[in-house]
Amino acid sequence: MRKTLEEVMRTWEPVIGLEIHTEITATRTKMFCGCETAHGGEPNTRVCPVCLGMPGALPVPNEAAIEWTVLAGLATGCEIERVSQFHRKNYFYPDMPKNYQISQYDRPFCKEGQLTIEVGKEGIAQRLDRDQPGVVTPTEDGYETRIGITRIHLEEDTGKMVHVGGSEGRIAGATHSLVDYNRAGTPLMELVSEPDIRTPEEARRFVQKLRLIWLTLGISDGNLESGSMRVDANISLRPRGQAELGIRAEVKNMNSFKSLHDAVAYEIVRQAEILESGGAVAQETRHWDAGRKVTSSLRSKEEANDYRYFPEPDMVPFEFSDEFVASVVARLPELPDARKERFCADYGLPASDAAILSEDLELCAFYEEAAGALGAKLDTLAKPLANLIVNDLIGALNAAGQELSASKVTPAGAAALVMLADEGAISGKQAKEVFADMIETGADPAEIIESRGLKQVSDTGELAAVIDAICEANPDKVEQYRSGKTGLRGFFVGQVMRETHGQANPQVVNELLGEKLDG
Amino acid sequence: MALTQEEVRHVALLARIALTEEQVATLQTELNGVFDYIDQISKLDLADVEPMVHSIPLVNSMREDVPVPGLDRERALMNAPAREADAILIPRIIGPGADA
Amino acid sequence: MAVAANPQDLMFKPATEISRLVCAREVSAREVVDAAYAHADACDAQVHAYNQRSDALAYAAADELDKKLAAGDKPGDGLPDSALVGAPVAFKDNMNLQGTRTTCSSRILSNYESAYDCTAVRRLLDAGTLPLGKLNMDEFAFGSSTENSAFGPTHNPWDLARVPGGSSGGSAAAVAAGLAPITLGSDTGGSIRQPGACCGVVALKPTYGRVSRYGCVAFASSLDQIGPFARTVRDAALALQVISGKDRYDATSVEAPVPDYSQALGADLKGLRVAVATDFLELEGLDPEVKADVLDAAERLTRMGAEVGEATLPSTQYGLAAYYIVGPAEASGNLARFDGIRYGLRAQDATDVLDLYMRSRAEGFGPETIRRVMIGTYVLSAGYYDAYYARAQKARTVIKQDFDRVFADYDLILTPTAPTPAFKLGEKTTDPLSMYLSDVFTIPVNLAGNTALHLPTKLSAAGLPLGVQLIGNYFDEANVFRAASALEQDYQFPYQTVPVNVLGA
């Protein structure tokens, strides 16, 4: 009954902008007071007059949180505003102790940045105009596109509420609520993207990329499920070819990358159906219900928002000197894009492997450590090592539902295995066997080879003797082979392998068989 | 410019203050008196004048990221009108009239 | 140990004198507190300066001090190095002090217990003073008569039928009535100086940023400043000395060093340049006695060696309009936290949170608070920001430029503090605008952010205090004290003739 995403995308072009709130978990204290930031804990135990909004209390901004935000701006190509300030955003809500949020308005810390996202083959079909010139940049197995960043500003987080008496802790139907202010005042960075996103996959990729940057900077744990990273999507549709924007709805409450993708996809189809039936999209906030897989409007009696922003008079403006900005620039680590390029350039990896490795900080560290252990062999073995990690290791982890951090394989072990295979000590097939053992036990590959007697036989004299014996035992087969039935070659190889318990070096066997049978 | 009673009610809702109809009427008169006076500010020539948020030339007033002991829970909640399980108890957020 | 013959004899002494007596152990700190409360028992039923006495805190501080004195401790040696050790003090009821309620004279906070201390209060107490209690005010400091208190008005000690001014009416009346030699108030548009004028006491608004605002319930954050009331310029200067300076809990407090203000006291006026603000003297409705008093002060300053000239501050005529935009706008935000959720009055049987907000605030706020919050909400609301708030912020800039221009040639500006002596209770309660006009001479100083002091001069023909406002440049409280100290000596204002003095006799 519902149309598919692909169907509606043919008629309608989605225009999507994201607002991404990230809790800065790198600071020790809250945004405007000295209370410690941490998740969980007994309710109302990490609070003070300031974050409880007690009468007379005043906010004093956390220097470190501001520096982190500037760092985030630099990492996303933003201009750092030399003069900035906080504003008050006025609205009443019980989890916000002052009934205004200290935020930023027309003078945020960072403005006008951008991020390049890569969409792989799984998301390419959603971008119908990908082949039109100048729209996106094609890559090996997908495309790249640039998403603008309007601004990054800093504000304070709210407390948390538990809704009681309704079903499943939902706000609707609850009889009362309980408020805990431990989270109130946690530094919260809001990034607003330009409405440059066109598909659910692009939305997902943008947030994934951003999360990776935040993790690389160490600014936040970037956890969507726990809410330290929260994504709101503004979505509107317009007929393909039309420049004018449609009416947008805002979707909230996506707690995973899958939810984000699915909620955006759902909302696109929902809006298309409304528009196609002659209706109008309501400008409203909708909540994604991951269980029912729908967005729904949560209307209350509240009037339309009028935030009455004005400059926060409890604080003075910020003026960032060149020296200050330079000092933050100096803190910038290698960012994911640069890392990927380095992996291609320095290690000779294909872009796809480099992308996979550089998109996961742990995997990346694992690879770099293992590559370091290759020593002089780095140039020739960097690629096989990447293969092992990208294919075998990730495959095994996925199959076991395991995180890399829980894996028993060490970077040194992975490097040793690659080197042993390269030296011809074991065959490729044996290497797989050894690796399976390493996953299981975490043992050193040399030990596994030793204990399982997996040493590859490359000694020509030893193998020649085996081949001689086989030929002697099968004169008819030798005859048939020599009279043209060369398909029997496989038979001889198989026999050698059987005799040597699979430890014969196939290359040496082939060479010797050639000499013996063809010579 | 004169405030209508409808505007008075709207502002009261923004400010979260329940007004009686009598208060709405009184406030309309009083506020219009005040605004008649305040409107003289439109006579000032303020072209090319920078707005002043603070009277003193102070910038970059910040604190170091160092924890300071807060309030223990009893002190934090001692003025709470209603409590339950160490949290502040409040009535439902969405009233019976709302459509969820 | 000599006991004061009667409480008011002791209570009309300057704080420095009481401190000297206590430190010399001629009177015990406990006896000081006894005298303070005995005098309050005698006259505060009529004046109603106190919202709450902090007997337990006062006696605990007194006994601790007496113990240390008995053990041989002296100021600077075991005791704070201050000339205020043992002096009793009291605070406007918008300043937090643990062990007291901080009500802001509002129903919505009538049971609110302070969970922490206001920095200025803490600093004054850390100087060895004794906290007598919390003083009445206009609700949330909105008013110029203290009639907007939810707990009833304070009466002017010089004429109980008259207002003490406001919003720090309790703080001014307490000093005038001899309930305490030093009190603290807060000044957003004149709320220290105007009640200082009504009650005839020295009243100082420091430069914005000089004193931490932390712990003082905010009215308008960019205008508020805590300051002292006293019956001598020296007491006021010593109190400012103690409460001034950077506070890490107030991002708008400044690092600038605090000079030794006592150096300015008694210094001669040679070379001091004083401008009389002539346009202030042309205001319609300015009481002739008030005007004559300013001109008299100018003559005395000239006689004492100051160079007195004339200046105008033309943009300040827009001060009141700008103030009634900026003040309410900031207040509408600052008062949003009073919602019945975390503390304070909560309406019963609310159907939901919105209902709880609407009724708690309607029941908890008085009429003037509602007016100010409504004005502030309106001027910030969509479509009006530029016409009001942005214009008012620009008006502040031109008002500051007026002051800067005058201060390029002068050290001080001499003006009236209030247009009239204290008016009658009820006289202006039905007309908000005429009440607002009481602060027309004080407001420009808050908008510009510099400092000003009210100095009592003499009594009017009707026996009401008269006085002048001395406006100083940014962080130049020293020159203000210098001129005030000279005029004080010259005038010898008759503090002890205040009629309520006899109530305790």
| H or E element that contains A490 | helix A489-499
Answer whether residue B56 is part of any domain. no
Inter-residue contact A212 to A336 (CB < 8 Å) = yes
Does residue C478 belong to the interface with chain B, where contact is any CB pair within 8 Å? Answer: no
| Shared-domain flag, residues A90 and A166 | yes
Inter-residue contact C309 to C410 (CB < 8 Å) = yes
Closest CA to A84 of A62, A65, A61, A107: A107
3-state helix, strand, coil in chain C (%, to 5): 45, 15, 40
Does residue B88 belong to the interface with chain A, where contact is any CB pair within 8 Å? Answer: yes
The SS3 assignment for C50 reads: strand
The SS3 assignment for A117 reads: strand
Report whether pLDDT(C143) > 50. Answer: yes
- Which pLDDT belongs to residue C5? 62
Q: C88-92 and C182-187 as β-strands: parallel, antiparallel, unpaired?
A: parallel
Report whether pLDDT(C492) > 60. Answer: yes
Q: For residues C397 and C321, what is the distance between their CA atoms, to the nearest angstrom? A: 14
Answer whether residue B20 is part of any domain. yes
**What's the rounded mean pLDDT across residues A48-77?**
97
Does residue C320 belong to the interface with chain B, where contact is any CB pair within 8 Å? Answer: yes
Q: For residues B67 and C440, what is the distance between their CA atoms, to the nearest angstrom? A: 44
- Which pLDDT belongs to residue C502? 59
Inter-residue contact C467 to C455 (CB < 8 Å) = yes
List beta partners, residue A178: A162, B89
A486: CATH: 1.10.10.410
- Record: contact C381-A98, CB cut-off 8 A: no
Report whether pLDDT(C1) > 50. Answer: no
The answer to which of A35-39, A498-502, C34-38, C440-444 has the lowest mean pLDDT is A498-502
Which chain A residue has the Cα nearest residue C217? A56
- Which pLDDT belongs to residue C39? 94
**What's the rounded mean pLDDT across residues C11-33?**
97
- Which pLDDT belongs to residue A284? 86
Q: What percent of chain A has pLDDT over 90?
A: 47
- Which pLDDT belongs to residue A292? 86
- Which pLDDT belongs to residue A304? 61
Q: Domain count for chain A, please give it.
A: 3
C436: CATH: 3.90.1300.10
The answer to which of A439-453, C108-122, C127-141 has the lowest mean pLDDT is A439-453
Q: Domain count for chain B, please give it.
A: 1
A183 C-beta neighbours (distance < 10 Å), count? 25
Show the tokens assigned to C227. Answer: 């300051």
The answer to which of A155-169, C49-63, C285-299 has the lowest mean pLDDT is A155-169
Instruction: Given the residues C92, C134, C205, C428, select the one marked as catalytic.
Output: C92
| Shared-domain flag, residues A448 and A466 | no
**What's the rounded mean pLDDT across residues C335-357?**
96
| Shared-domain flag, residues A276 and A137 | yes
Cα distances (angstroms) measured from residue B61 to each of A360, B100, C292 = 38, 44, 45
Residue A35 has what DSSP assignment?
P
Who among B14, B34, B91 is closest to C350 (CB)? Answer: B91
Q: What is the mean pLDDT of chain A?
A: 87
| Shared-domain flag, residues A91 and A206 | yes
> Whose structure tokens read 């295995």?
A417
Report whether pLDDT(A121) > 60. Answer: yes
Inter-residue contact C195 to C164 (CB < 8 Å) = yes
Instruction: Given the residues C28, C144, C149, C191, select the one marked as catalytic.
Output: C191
Q: For residues C239 and B24, what is the distance between their CA atoms, to the nearest angstrom? A: 45
**More confident site: A130 or C229:** C229
**More confident site: A424 or C416:** C416
Report whether pLDDT(C62) > 50. Answer: yes
- Whether C262 is catalytic is no
**More confident site: A517 or C54:** C54
| Shared-domain flag, residues A312 and A405 | no
- Given pLDDT bands bounded at 50, 70 and 90, which one contains residue A438? confident
The one-letter amino acid code at C293 reads: D
List beta partners, residue A84: A318
- Which pLDDT belongs to residue A6? 85
Per residue, the 3-state secondary structure of C95-106, as one string, reads ECCCCCECCCCC
The SS3 assignment for B35 reads: helix
- Which pLDDT belongs to residue B100? 35
Does residue B25 belong to the interface with chain C, where contact is any CB pair within 8 Å? Answer: no
Who among B62, B77, B94 is closest to A171 (CB)? Answer: B94
Answer whether residue C50 is part of any domain. no
Chain B interface mutation, best of C102, C335, C352, highest count of B Cβ atoms under 10 Å: C352
Report whether pLDDT(A392) > 90. Answer: no
The answer to which of A430-444, C384-398, C469-483 has the lowest mean pLDDT is A430-444
Report whether pLDDT(A364) > 70. Answer: yes
Can you give the residue range of the structural domain that contains A142? Answer: 5-328
**More confident site: C115 or A123:** C115
- Given pLDDT bands bounded at 50, 70 and 90, which one contains residue C309? very high
- Identify the domain boundary among A452, A476, A495: A452
B24: CATH: 1.10.20
Q: What is the full DSSP assignment across C298-344?
A: HHHHHHTT-EEEEE--GGGGGHHHHHHHHHHHHHHHHGGG-SSSSSS
The predicted model scores a pTM of: 0.91
- Which pLDDT belongs to residue A291? 86
Residues in B closer than 8 angstroms to C252, CB to CB, are 54, 56, 58, 61
The answer to which of A321-325, B49-53, C104-108, C331-335 has the lowest mean pLDDT is B49-53
Answer whether residue C11 is part of any domain. no
| Shared-domain flag, residues A482 and A379 | no
The distance of A2 to chain C (nearest Cα, Å) reads: 37
- Record: contact A315-C338, CB cut-off 8 A: no
| Shared-domain flag, residues A203 and A297 | yes
Residue C234 has what DSSP assignment?
H
Does residue B60 belong to the interface with chain C, where contact is any CB pair within 8 Å? Answer: no
> Whose structure tokens read 């924007």?
A245
Question: Which ranges constitute the DSSP H helices of A161-307?
Answer: 200-217, 257-276
Which chain A residue has the Cα nearest residue C112? A55
User: Which residues of A make CB contacts under 8 Å with C?
Assistant: 49, 52-61, 88, 90, 92, 94, 97-100, 179, 300-302, 306, 308-310, 313-316
Cα distances (angstroms) measured from residue A54 to each of A37, A345, A493, C95, C357 = 19, 57, 84, 12, 17
Closest CA to A170 of C341, B92, B85: B92
pLDDT in tens, A153-205: 999 999 999 998 877 677 777 889 999 999 999 999 999 999 999 999 999 99
**What's the rounded mean pLDDT across residues A66-88?**
96
- Which pLDDT belongs to residue A397? 79
Q: For residues C454 and C165, what is the distance between their CA atoms, to the nearest angstrom? A: 13
Report whether pLDDT(A48) > 50. Answer: yes
- Whether C167 is catalytic is yes
Answer whether residue C33 is part of any domain. no
**What's the rounded mean pLDDT across residues B43-50?**
88
pLDDT in tens, C393-432: 999 999 999 999 999 999 999 999 999 999 999 999 888 7
- Which pLDDT belongs to residue C503? 55
The answer to which of A412-421, B44-53, C378-387 has the lowest mean pLDDT is A412-421
> Whose structure tokens read 């000339």?
C83
- Given pLDDT bands bounded at 50, 70 and 90, which one contains residue A519? low
- Which pLDDT belongs to residue A173? 79
Show the tokens assigned to A150. Answer: 């309007």
- Record: contact C337-A99, CB cut-off 8 A: yes
Q: What percent of chain B has pLDDT over 90?
A: 75
Answer whether residue B100 is part of any domain. no
Q: What are phi and psi of A480, to 5 degrees?
A: -60, -45
- Which pLDDT belongs to residue B99? 39
Q: For residues C433 and C436, what is the distance between their CA atoms, to the nearest angstrom? A: 5
Show the tokens assigned to B16. Answer: 């979260």
Answer whether residue B21 is part of any domain. yes
Q: What percent of chain C has pLDDT over 70?
A: 98
The answer to which of B1-5, C15-19, C231-235, C302-306 has the lowest mean pLDDT is B1-5
- Which pLDDT belongs to residue C264? 94
| H or E element that contains A249 | strand A249-254
Tell me the residue ranges of DSSP E strands in B1-86: 83-84
| Shared-domain flag, residues A314 and A341 | no
**What's the rounded mean pLDDT across residues A465-480?**
85
Sorted by sequence, the CB contacts under 8 Å of residue B31 that are 6+ apart come out as B3, B8, C371, C374, C375, C378
Q: How would you classify residue A120: left for phi > 0, otherwise alpha for psi between -120 and 50, otherwise beta? A: beta
- Which pLDDT belongs to residue A446? 73
The interface predicted TM-score of the complex, written ipTM, equals 0.95
Q: What percent of chain C has pLDDT over 90?
A: 93
pLDDT in tens, A3-26: 888 889 889 999 999 999 999 999
Q: For residues A86 and A103, what is the distance between their CA atoms, to the nearest angstrom? A: 6
Task: Give CA angle at C16 (C14, C22), nearest 5°.
Answer: 105
Q: Domain count for chain C, please give it.
A: 1
Inter-residue contact C78 to C65 (CB < 8 Å) = no
Q: For residues C467 and C200, what is the distance between their CA atoms, to the nearest angstrom? A: 7
- Which pLDDT belongs to residue B96? 56
pLDDT in tens, C84-133: 999 999 999 999 999 999 999 999 999 999 999 999 999 999 999 999 99
| Shared-domain flag, residues A283 and A427 | no
Q: What is the full DSSP assignment across C260-306?
A: -GGGGTT---TT-EEEEEGGGGG-TT--HHHHHHHHHHHHHHHHTT-
**What's the rounded mean pLDDT across residues C189-201?**
98
The distance of C110 to chain A (nearest Cα, Å) reads: 13
Report whether pLDDT(A40) > 80. Answer: no
| Shared-domain flag, residues A228 and A370 | no
**What's the rounded mean pLDDT across residues B29-34?**
93
CA gyration radius for chain C?
Answer: 21
Which chain B residue has the Cα nearest residue A100? B15
